[in-house]
Structure 1
Amino acid sequence: MKEEEIRGLVAGVKDGSLSRRSFMQRMAAVGIMAPIASQILAWNDVAMADATVKYKPTKAGGGGALKILLWQAPTLLNPHFAAGTKDQIACRVFYEPLAGWDKEGNLFPQLAAEIPSKANGGLSADGKTVTWKLKQGVKWHDGKPFTADDVVFNWEYAADPATAAYTTGSYKDIKVEKVDAHTIKVIFKEPTPFWADPFVGVVGMMVPKHLFAEYKGAKSREAPANLKPVGTGPYKFVEFKPGDILTGERNTDYHVKNQPQFDTIEAKGGGDAVSAARAVLQTGEYDYAWNLQVEDEVLKRMETGGRGKVVAVPAGDVEFITLNTTDPWTEVDGERSSAKTKHPTLSDPKVRAALNLLIDRDSIEKFIYGRGGIATASFVNEPKQFKSTKLKYEFSIDKANKILDEAGWKKGADGIREKDGKKLKYVFQTSINAPRQKTQAIIKQACQRAGIDLELKSVTASVFFSSDVANPDTYTKLYVDMEMYTQTQPQPDPERFLNQCVSWEIASKENKWLGRNVSRYTDPEADKAYKAAQTELDPAKRAALLIKVNEIFCEANVLLPIISRTVVGAAANNLTADISGWEVTTWNLAAWYRS
C-alpha cells in the first residue's frame, strides 16, 4: 500500500467516514498488523482506543474471591527487579504503569489521564519528547497521593546503575522532567520512533517515592516494601509467602469507577501446568490458570469436563534454545559464563549450525504444542512486518553429520565426537514442564545420532525463573552449555525484546545477572543496526534494521527459535478475563469479572 493511500484512510478515520475497525482490517489486508496500524493513527492525531473488554458490573465489590494459579510461583514483589514473567504478574496485582497494551496492541491509559498524541500535545514533531498527563485523585494504598514526583523518582531509581534494576535499559538514556504536579516530560537524546517504553507495561510499574527514596542505589535490596508492596492497583497487599501464595484485598479507593468486582485475590504458586489446567477445566477449584504449556491433546480432554475453557491469544512469545558461547565451567572474577571467556566447543559456528539442524520443530509443533504455537526459525514472529522472511528451518541429521565431519569433529569409540581433546558433550537445561522435557528428549535423540551427547537437566520453574542472585540455576546465569525457555515479547514493537541481542545488555555479576543478553554473544553489526533502529523514524527502514538484528543472532545459531507461542490459559466458564498477548496476565486485572 502506498503512502498516499494510507494517508487517505487515516483521513477517513478522522472525519468519521471510515471506522477504526475498517481501517485496521484494510491495514491487515496488506500485512500491516494492529499494533503498527494503531501507532500510525496515534502519530496522525487519531485518538487511541480507551477501552478493552466491555466491563458489565455496575458497582465495585461483591464478586467474592478471585483465585488464580501461577504454577511458576513468584518470589519477589518489586517490579524493577522482576526479570521473570511470574514475578511481573505478581507485581502487576498491586502496581500500575502509566499505560498498558491491550490485546489489539493499542496503548491503554492506566495511571495516565490520556495517551500522548500530536493532537493533544503529547508527542513532539521531532520525536524527541513525550509529555504524559497523569490521572488526578489517584492514591497509593497507604493514602498518599500519586504525583509527578513519583514518576520522576521511578526514572531516577531505575536509571541508577547501583540499583541494578531489571528495567534499567528503559531509563538509563532518557531524562525526565516534572512539568507540574500531574504532568511529566520524557526527553530522548535522539528522535525516538518507539517512545512507548519508559513508564509503559511491565517496565513501567510505579513504586512510591516516599517508601523507596532512601533505598535507591546500593541499598535497593534492603527496602521492606520489596516484599510488602504499596501500589495504586486494584488490590491491596495482605500476605506473601515467596514461592507459595500471594493474597490481596480490594482497594476500596481504586481510581477506576465500579472496579474491581472481586473482593479478594489469591495467586497460588507451585505445582505444574497440568495440575493447574485440571484445577480450572475439570474441578473448578480455581478461576484462572496461567501459562498452560501443556500438550494440546491433554487440554482438549480436560475441556470436556465442562467447568472451564482454554483461552488462547496471539502474542510475540517464542520458545527457543540459547547456546552458550562463553565457558560455563570456568570461574573468572567470581562468575562463570563470563564474557571474558569462550566456550570450548560452542564457540565453533559449525557446531552451532549442526545443533540447529537437529531440532525437529515440525514434530514438536504437531505432537506437543498444537494450539499453543507454530514452528519457527525466527526469534521475532509478531507483528508480521518485523518477522524475517529469510530465516528458514530444516531438520536433517545427515546434514548435521556432514557439517561436523567437514569441521574435523570425529566420532570416538563411545560414539561422541571430539577434536583436540574436546568432546561435544553438553548440559542442556530447562524448567520442569512436561512439554519441555519431551522437547528435550526429542532433541537429545537426534543429537545422539549425530555424535553429540546431551545431559538433560530440569530445574524447578520457581528457581529457574527466579531473580535470586545467590542461586546458580537461574536462567540468566546460564551456568550450563545450553538452555531452553520462552522469551516474552512485552510490547507489540520488538525493539525492547531485541535488546537481549546487544553488547551493553550482557547478564553479569556486575548487574546481578539482570542484563537482558543471556547468551553473552555479541556482534558489532547487530549493535550498529539496533542503535540505528532506535532513532529511525521511517517505519519500513526501522523494521529492516530490527529484522537484521534478529537475523544476525539466528544465522549465527546462538538463538535457536523452536515455537512461536500463543498465550494459553484456562478460565472458568463464568469468568471474563482481559488477557493480552502483549502484556502480563494481570495487566488489567481490575476489569476481570464473574457473570
Structure 2
Amino acid sequence: MCELHSIHSSVSRPGRPSMGLPIVRHLAIILAVASIATACTPGGPPGQGGSDTGPGTTPTRKAITISLEGEINALATELDSAGVSGLSSYLHSFLHDYGTVAGDRGEILPQLVAGLPSLDDGSWEVHDDGRMDVTWKLRQGVLWHDGTEFTSADIKFGWQVTVDDAAPLGNVPTESKAVTAIDTLDPYTVVMHWKARNRFGAQMMRSQFNILPKHLLEEDFLANKAAFGGHGYFTSTDAVIGTGPYRAAEWVRGSHLTAQAFDGYYQGRAKIDSVTFRFISDEQTTLANVLAGEIDVANRGLGWTGVQTLQQQWESTGAGKVQNQPTNWRHVLFQFRPELASPSSLLDARLRKALIHGVDRVALVDGLFPGAGAELVAHSIGYPGTPIGDAVEKSIVKYNYDPTRASQLLAEAGWQKGGDGNLVNSSTGERFQMEFNAGGGDEDDKSFALAEANYRPLGIELFYQSFGGRRQTPQESVTFTGLQKTGFPFNHPRFAGRWDSREVAGPENRYASGNRSGYANPQYDAAIDRLSQSLREADELRAWGEAWKILTEEAAVMSLFFVPQPIAVRTGVEGVFPENASGEATWRVHTWEVQ
C-alpha cells in the first residue's frame, strides 16, 4: 500500500487530516515528492480518488481542488465596503451569474439575459439629446440558490443599492451611475434609462451592475443602509445565495472554501459536483502541492521559476498543461511637459522613435520570463487574437529592435557622440542624460538594467529613479523628467485617458487625472471621443485602430510586454483554458469536466 500526505503550511485539503508538515522549499524535495506522487497515483482521474464504479455501486462524486494565491475577502458582488479582491472576483464566477459576461476571446455574451439589446430591433434607443433607453429581456426559469425565481426586481434592487449615497459601499461602477432610472415592465423585462450616450449600453457585466436578491436583502438594506456594506451576505456561506452553478458550502478562514453544484441551475447541473478553493500564498507550497497531485487547478500563485519546474516535470509525464494568461500591459510613458522634459528633445518624435527602436524587448521578456516566448512582446495595449487586438494590429506602427535605425534617428534629431562616446546635442551642447522612473522591485530593476545596457552603446546615459516599491504620490507620478515605466490592463477601454489632453494631471485637479505625461493632440482627442460614443462594435473597433495609429505614429508611448500569469491544470480536468489566453473560461464553469 502506498500513502502520500498533503504538503502544506497550515492548509489542509478538506476531508483529509492535516499533517502539519512544513513548507517544502527545496527543489530536490519537490521533485522527489513528485516522483512518489506519480508512482502512487491510482488509475482514476483527478478528484475522484481513482475508485471505479460497477453495477450496484454509488457513482463516485466528481471533485476538483483549485489553489488561489491568497485568502478571498467577499462572497458576492463588488460592493463589500472593505473592497473586493481579484481572488474573490474569480470565486464569484462559480457562485454568481451576471447579465452579460466576457467569453473565451473577450467577446460579450448574454448570461442571465436572453440576448443583447440592439440598435436595429429597437431594444436600444438613442434619443436626439443623447439619452438612451435600453430594454433587456431576461431568461425565464432562473433560480436563486434558495429556490426563489430571479426576476427584473433583482436587477433594479441591485442598482438601487449600488447608487444609494446612504450606503457607503466599496465600489460604485461608473456605468451604474450613468443610469438615471430602471423600470421593470414585467418580471422578465428591464428598461434602463441612461443620462447620455454610452457605448456600454448593451452590457451588464459584474463590474458594471450588481445584481442582488431583493427578497432576501431589501428589508435589511432599508433598515440600516449605512451598515449594509458589512452585511453577512458578503461574508457568510450561510447568508449568501447566487444564481450561479455552485453554491458556497463551507468557508474555513485561512484554509479553504468548498462549493457544491446547485441542482437547480438553469443551464443544467454542473458536471463537477464539488469544487474546493485552497488558499496558498507561498509559491513553493503551491508548486509542491501541484506536483504531488493535491491541486488540480493552480489559478496563478506559481512563480516563474516554479512554472518552469512544473512544465519540465509535466512534459515528461503528461500530467498536465500550463497556459500563460496575460494580466497587464507594461509600457513606458514619455514626459511631454516642456518645463519637465529632459532632455528637452523628448518632445521630438524622432528621438522617441529612436528610444523605442533602442530597446530589445524580446531580450527583456526572455530575461523576465525565460521560455515564455516573443508573443509576450507588446506593440500596443491590444492583445493579439482578440477583436480589439486584431483591430489595433492593422493600424499601428511597430518599432522593432534596431540599434542602427535608432542611431540614425538620434543623429537626425541633432545628437552626436562626443569624445567619451556619450551623445551631445549639436545645438545646445546638452548631454543625453535621462531618467528611468519606476516603482521598484525585481521586474523594474531588470527592466532598467536591460534598457541601460541597450542605451549605453548608443551614447545615452540612463539613470534609475526608483521608489523602492512604495506607492508614488499623485504629484510624484507626474513630475518624472524622462521615462516612466508603468502598467495598465490590456484591452481596457479606459486607456484613452492616459493621453487625453483634457485629462492632463496638474495642481488644478490635485494631480489626480489620468494623463500623467502631458501629451496633447486634438486628433487623438477626437478619435477617443469617437470611441467613447461608438455604439456598434464595428465603429468601436475602428476607433480603437484610429486612436492607436495616432499614438504609434507619434511614438507617444513605448509598449514593452504583457505580464503572464500562469494557470496550471492537471490532465483529465477539461474546459479550464479559454480558447484565447486573454479570455475567460469561468463563464462556462458548469461545463468543466473531470474524465
Shorter-chain TM-score above 0.5: yes
Measured after TM superposition, the shift of residue 94 of structure 1 is 3.3
2:246 is the alignment partner of 1:248: no
- 1:69–1:87 distance in 2 versus 1, CA, 3 Å: closer
Which shows bigger deviation, 346-355 or 182-191? Answer: 346-355
The separation in 1 between residues aligned to 2:225 and 2:316, in whole angstroms, is 51
Query: Within 5 A, what are the aligned runs for 1:81-480?
Result: 85-103=86-104, 107-116=108-117, 122-123=123-124, 128-136=132-140, 138-140=142-144, 146-156=150-160, 158=162, 168-175=173-180, 176-188=182-194, 195-197=201-203, 199-200=204-205, 202-204=207-209, 206-208=211-213, 210=217, 213=221, 227-228=235-236, 230-232=240-242, 233=244, 234-236=246-248, 238-239=250-251, 247-250=257-260, 252=262, 254-256=264-266, 257-259=268-270, 261-272=272-283, 276=286, 279-280=289-290, 282-291=291-300, 294=304, 300-306=311-317, 308-312=319-323, 319-323=329-333, 325=335, 345=342, 348-350=346-348, 355-364=355-364, 368=370, 370=372, 373-381=375-383, 382-383=386-387, 384-396=390-402, 406=413, 424-429=434-439, 438-439=446-447, 441-449=449-457, 450-454=460-464, 472=471
1:216 to partner: Cα distance: 11
> One-letter code of the match for 1:562?
L
What SS does the aligned partner of 2:546 have?
helix
Unaligned runs of 5+ in 1: 1-58, 328-340, 460-470
Distance in 1 between residues matched to 2:225 and 2:252, nearest whole Å: 25
Cα distance in structure 1, aligned partners of 2:86 and 2:94: 13
> Residues 270 and 574 from structure 1, CA distance in 2 versus in 1: closer, same or farther, beyond 3 angstroms?
same
Aligned partners of 2:586, 2:433: CA distance in 1, in Å? 46
Deviation readout 1:159-194 (Å, 9 max, x if unpaired): 578968656233333343322233212344566666
Q: Distance in 2 between matches of 1:532 and 1:208?
A: 37
Secondary structure of the structure 2 residue equivalent to 1:79: coil
1:317-369 residue CA offsets vs partner (Å, 9 max, x unmatched): 66322437599xxxxxxxxxxxxx98664994457555434431233456635
Where does 1:547-566 land on structure 2 (aligned, <5 Å)? 547-555=545-553, 557=555, 559-563=557-561
Q: Distance in 2 between matches of 1:488 and 1:84?
A: 19
Structure 1 pair 423–361 and aligned structure 2 pair: CA distance change class (3 A): closer
State which of 519, 530, 533 in structure 1 corresponds to 2:531: 533
In structure 2, distance between residues paired with 1:476 and 1:574: 52
Distance 1:527 1:121, change over 3 A: same
Against the structure 1 CA distance between its residues 319 and 106, is the aligned structure 2 distance closer, same or farther, given a 3 Å change threshold?
closer
Q: Give the deviation of 1:451 after TM superposition.
A: 0.6
How many angstroms apart in 2 are the aligned matches of 1:416 and 1:575? 57
Shift of the alpha carbon at 1:288? 1.3
Q: CA deviation at 1:575?
A: 0.7
Post-superposition shift, 1:561? 2.0
Instruction: Tell me how far 1:111 sits from its aligned partner.
Output: 2.4
| Alpha-carbon distance in structure 2 between the residues aligned to 1:145 and 1:513 | 47
So what's the TM-score if we normalise by structure 2? 0.64
Question: How much does 1:376 deviate?
Answer: 3.3
Q: Work out whether residues 320 and 562 of structure 1, in 8 Å CA contact, stay in contact via their aligned partners in 2.
A: yes
Matched-pair contact (CA < 8 Å) for 2:504–2:514: yes
Q: What value does the CA root-mean-square deviation take over the aligned residues?
A: 5.4
Residue in 2 that maps onto 1:62: 61
Q: Do the aligned partners of 1:97 and 1:202 also contact (CA within 8 Å) in 2?
A: no
Greater CA deviation, 474-483 or 178-187? 474-483
CA contact (8 A) 1:236 1:251 kept: no
Larger Rg: 2
In the alignment, is the contact (CA less than 8 A) between 2:332 and 2:558 conserved in 1?
Answer: yes
Q: Count how many residue pairs are aligned between Structure 1 and Structure 2.
A: 500
Distance 1:515 1:204 in 2: 24
Identity %: 18
Q: How far apart, CA to CA, are the structure 1 residues paired with 2:511 and 2:162? A: 15
Compute the TM-score of the two structures, normalised by the length of structure 1.
0.64
Q: Quick check: 2:124–2:134 contact (8 Å CA) kept in 1?
A: yes
